Amino acid sequence: MSVIDDVFEKLRVAGRKAFIAFVPAGDPDLKFTEELLQGLSAVGVTLCELGLPYSDPIADGPVIQAAYTRTLARGVRVHEIFELLQRVTPRLACPVVLMTSYAIVFRRGLEMFVQECARKGVAGLVVPDLPVEESRPLADVCGQFDLSLIQLVTPTTPPDRALRIAAESSGFLYYVSVTGITGERDQLPPELAEKVAWLRKHTDLPICVGFGISRPEQVAALAGVADGVIVGSALVRRIAQAESLGPQSALEDTLQFVRSLLAALPHQPVARRI
């Protein structure tokens, strides 16, 4: 079992749900990212998803893309983020997965990139711009180093393709709740529960829902149909306050917000396919 497989098995046995926090690496600086990862681990998040800054939006809304733009403007590079991971992952109680563009992986070389991830304590990869039809080479390399390759299903993914994505994924399946880009939403689609329920009938992988989640009531509702929730833009917006409020205030506000979302997670198990 991979690290992520083990995490979700323990959650299943305990009847608990996953909370995954997205953090953009290097915003406002790498020191803040390091302190935030440790803080998120301490308050009890299940996984941290660390975003590698990239100049061209993949599915990122304005909040996350602005964070990446600030980081790139400061000159933060991938090797510095790997150095950060080497320092911080041994001190975390939760695994870290990287969200990255395939261009970054390809440029460094698949085996070299994945091997570096493994050495620095990374447990998995999310590569949103890698089509499932072209994912097998990276999946094979990830398998050699016990990393999960987490793939995405969207509301517009045809059923047959969704099944192929589920079959090619490992760790968990990332279900995108809305059509479009990342960002906070007042309401999530009413058909979301039905779509997740359909997918659950066809895969034993844990299903975690992301995009648009920003409120305790949304977390509570999604936990009834999914194995976990992923929160990104709502955290990144609070992180951005570091420029106006100062790093410490932004850190405390972000962690307090996460605590409020964690408190909304129920502890009953989700029914699984037999």
At residue 255, the 3 state secondary structure works out as helix
Q: Give the per-residue SS3 of 59-78.
A: CCCHHHHHHHHHHHHCCCCH
Residue with tokens 């659950």: 200
Closest CA to 105 of 156, 74, 139: 139
Active-site annotation, residues? 49, 60
Q: How far is CA 203 from the centre of its chain?
A: 20
What DSSP string runs through 179-244?
SS-----SS--TTHHHHHHHHHTT--S-EEEESS--SHHHHHHHHTTSSEEEE-HHHHHHHTTHHH
**b or e along 5-27 (b: 16 or more beta carbons within 10 Å of the residue's beta carbon)?**
bebbeebeeeebbbbbbbbbbbb
Beta-strand relationship, 207-210 and 228-231: parallel
Residues 6+ apart with CB under 8 A from 133: none
CB atoms within 10 A of CB 163: 15
Q: Which two tokens stand for residue 233?
A: 């833009």
Q: Which two tokens stand for residue 36?
A: 């935030």
Cis ω for the linkage preceding 28 (within 30 of 0): yes
